[in-house]
Amino acid sequence: MFAKLIVHLATAVSIAALAVKASADSAQDDYDRLCSTCHGTRFSLQSTTVPSVDRLAATIRDGDARRGMPAFGLQLSPERIDALAKLTAEHVAARAVLGRRVRAETLDPVRSSGFVLMRAQESGLPYIGYFGERSSLCYPDVDLTGVRSVELSYAKGSDEAGRFAILAGDGIAKAQFNLAEKNTVSTGGWETFQRHRVGLDRELSGRYELCFYGVAGGGILNLESFMLSEEPGEHDGLTLVFDEPAAPVLEAAGHRFVLERVGEAPAELWSMAFLPDGTLLVTQKNGQLLLFKSGKLLGPVEGVPQVWNGAQGGLMDVKLHPQYAQNGWIYLTFSDPGPDSSTAMTRVVRGKLNGRRWVEQQDIYRAPERFYTQHYAHFGSRLVLADGYVYFSIGERQQPQLAQSLAHPYGKIHRLHDDGRVPTDNPFVGHADALPSIWSYGHRNPQGMAIHPRTAEIWSAEHGPAGGDEINVIRKGANYGWPLVSFGRHYDGTPVGPSPYREGVEPPIYHFTPSIAISQIAFYEGDAFPHWRGRLLVASLGQEELRLLQLDGTTVVEDRLLLQGFGRIRDVSVGPDGHPYLLLNRYTSGVYRLRPEQEMGIGNRE
């Protein structure tokens, strides 16, 4: 039902409003550059009183040697110092404390994921929409002393079951507390906000990060605001547990191995790529490109393109050019915001790293504005590079019939030269009403792509509806059938077509029914797990599985489960050390790798 929601944004602004926005942007840029490393994404103080803007401006200008704060008077003009002081004062004033109502949109965008900032159609008030299962809305520096309940102003327009949790912690450094869980009820409309009190299971003292986490349900709620209260309340029991147990020794497909965590991140991760010096590039869905070295998070890369971070959109795939050592090109895919940020579309760029800064950006694929849409899902967004070409996927953006239309980019895998030019031998070049970048069509939402290391074929993994997740070998000009055929069913239980087969449609080489919510795939050719060589690693989101497929050409002859239940696996890749690496997203996110038991020096544990 969330697909029916529309992001309502004002289209007319005055010159004065534009000036205010420019000033705010400048202050935010200064804060991100000068303050965020020490103070985090939002400035906070231990004091319960808000210092004056003049006092904050004086400290910014002159520094505070007792606290180790440098002076910025030589770097910033008086006007920018005043703007930065006002911004930090707003941060302090907006923090959540007992009895103060907090606007939902004041969340920490780095720690939060799976939401869209929206405006009510009638009142124009902002709220957080698209909050569903696995969504997370986090608010830093919340004083929970004396808090016994949280009163939420939320809206829900359906009777579909939904459940959320209230979590507390100090980010990824310590385990989080599950303070409460609550089932949501319909309020009569997605913009009909009502207040509901949730009692906490325990009382805490001091400052914490407070997060609302989607436990179950596609459309759990839209959140307008919340307030901390000393009044008692009730909750619906606790089901989430956060203690991460010691890594067990797992055994599958001829090997005993351990799932080892090698890096942590603040929010949902999407894709990874290994640089020649061992540095790991990881995309964080909220728009940050992170650098890891020897398991340590070095920080985000500055200057990456702005993304539409909402629902299924964000910063997605990252890949190195095959000749990266010579040319330095790195490719990114992301959901690109439209002119008024109410629409978005899959976009592909390439750029280079200069230290920790993104430079020399070039567009590889940017769709015309008419293809930007308010549909919030199915961006596709995997890519591979081979033989001077870049292949990338775009989902059908919840417009199934357009996957069959060669005049639209949705539901396609596209092929371009690695600099963005259209190859003259693409299958639909010169065809009337056909986009020349299309390589194959009839796809639903391909979020996995890999090159077969022995045949050089392009393989893809594609989300089905209710069942029918597919693995396909991508062939020039082929039609893969969506929405005409599928091994799955529509979400209402009706069949997609009279048969999963149809003349002129390329069938999958393998399908998962029921669905595993397939994500990325990777061929294994490493040395760490010799019994796995030549097989295909398959990651999943919903079932939290890593599977291993044994192949005979393009026929799957065995399907083995390697592990399950450690988190949603968004990416799987084989590192230069021959180990499979995973990106796991659960209550926190991290980079993990599979290591043989004998490498860990832990002996034979039963």
Domain regions of the chain by residue span? 17-94, 96-243, 249-600
* pLDDT at res. 516: 96
For CA atoms 582, 586, 590, 595, the dihedral sign is: negative
Binned at pLDDT 50, 70 and 90, residue 36 comes out as low
Query: Is residue 99 a contact partner of residue 229, using CB atoms and an 8 Å limit?
Result: yes
Region label for 175, one of left (φ > 0), alpha (ψ between -120 and 50) or beta (otherwise): beta
Options 3.40.50.720, 3.50.50.60, 2.120.10.30, 3.30.70.360; CATH of 249-600: 2.120.10.30
* pLDDT at res. 117: 86
Place domain 96-243 in its CATH homologous superfamily: Galactose-binding domain-like (2.60.120.260)
In whole angstroms, what is the distance from residue 48 CA to residue 45 CA? 8
* pLDDT at res. 252: 93
* pLDDT at res. 17: 32
* pLDDT at res. 311: 80
* pLDDT at res. 66: 66
Lowest mean pLDDT among 41-50, 379-388, 450-459: 41-50
Query: Is residue 544 a contact partner of residue 569, using CB atoms and an 8 Å limit?
Result: yes
Summarize the confidence of residues 201-228 as an average pLDDT.
Answer: 92
Summarize the confidence of residues 591-595 as an average pLDDT.
Answer: 95
* pLDDT at res. 20: 36
Q: Say whether pLDDT at 65 is over 90.
A: no
Q: Say whether pLDDT at 13 is over 80.
A: no
In sequence order, the 6+-apart residues with CB closer than 8 A to the CB of 380 are: 346, 392, 393, 394, 395, 443, 445, 446, 447
* pLDDT at res. 241: 77
Give the chain's radius of gyration (CA, Å).
25
Binned at pLDDT 50, 70 and 90, residue 70 comes out as confident
In whole angstroms, what is the distance from residue 106 CA to residue 96 CA? 10
Q: Say whether pLDDT at 3 is over 70.
A: no
Average pLDDT, rounded, for the chain: 88
In terms of pLDDT, which residue wins out, 577 or 112? 577
What is the number of other CB atoms lying within 10 angstroms of the CB of residue 219? 22
Q: How far is CA 257 from CA 306, 508, 598, 604, in A?
A: 39, 31, 8, 11
Are the folds of 17-94 and 96-243 the same? no
* pLDDT at res. 53: 80
Q: Say whether pLDDT at 182 is over 90.
A: yes
Binned at pLDDT 50, 70 and 90, residue 14 comes out as very low
Region label for 333, one of left (φ > 0), alpha (ψ between -120 and 50) or beta (otherwise): beta
Share above pLDDT 70 across residues of the chain, in percent, rounded to a whole number: 89
Note the pLDDT tens digit of each residue in 337-358: 998 778 999 999 999 999 999 9
In terms of pLDDT, which residue wins out, 463 or 240? 463
In terms of pLDDT, which residue wins out, 7 or 94? 94
In terms of pLDDT, which residue wins out, 212 or 246? 212
Binned at pLDDT 50, 70 and 90, residue 35 comes out as confident
* pLDDT at res. 340: 78
Amino acid at 11: T
Taking the CA of residue 349 as centre, how many other CA atoms within 13 Å lie in the half-sphere pointing to its CB? 20
Summarize the confidence of residues 246-258 as an average pLDDT.
Answer: 88
State pTM to two decimals.
Answer: 0.81
Q: Say whether pLDDT at 602 is over 80.
A: no
* pLDDT at res. 171: 66
Q: Which fold has domain 17-94?
A: Cytochrome Bc1 Complex; Chain D, domain 2 (1.10.760)
Question: What are the residues facing 383 on neighbouring strands?
Answer: 392
Amino acid at 24: A
Summarize the confidence of residues 251-266 as an average pLDDT.
Answer: 91
Note the pLDDT tens digit of each residue in 484-536: 999 999 988 999 999 999 999 999 999 999 999 999 999 999 999 999 999 99
- Positions marked catalytic: 378
In whole angstroms, what is the distance from residue 57 CA to residue 80 CA? 10
Nearest to 259 by CA among 541, 590, 558: 590
Q: Are strands 438-441 and 412-417 parallel, antiparallel or unpaired?
A: antiparallel
78-94 and 15-34 helices cross at what angle (nearest 10)? 80
Query: Is residue 322 a contact partner of residue 386, using CB atoms and an 8 Å limit?
Result: yes
Share above pLDDT 90 across residues of the chain, in percent, rounded to a whole number: 67
In terms of pLDDT, which residue wins out, 581 or 286? 581
Note the pLDDT tens digit of each residue in 120-147: 998 889 999 989 888 889 998 899 999 9
Summarize the confidence of residues 406-420 as an average pLDDT.
Answer: 98
Binned at pLDDT 50, 70 and 90, residue 5 comes out as very low
Lowest mean pLDDT among 96-100, 141-145, 284-288: 96-100
78-94 and 53-62 helices cross at what angle (nearest 10)? 120
Q: Which helix (H) or strand (E) holds 438?
A: strand 438-441
Lowest mean pLDDT among 212-221, 226-235, 547-556: 212-221
The owner of tokens 């985090």 is 40
Summarize the confidence of residues 73-87 as an average pLDDT.
Answer: 85
* pLDDT at res. 46: 47
In terms of pLDDT, which residue wins out, 446 or 341? 446
Nearest to 190 by CA among 427, 27, 4: 4
Q: Say whether pLDDT at 61 is over 80.
A: yes
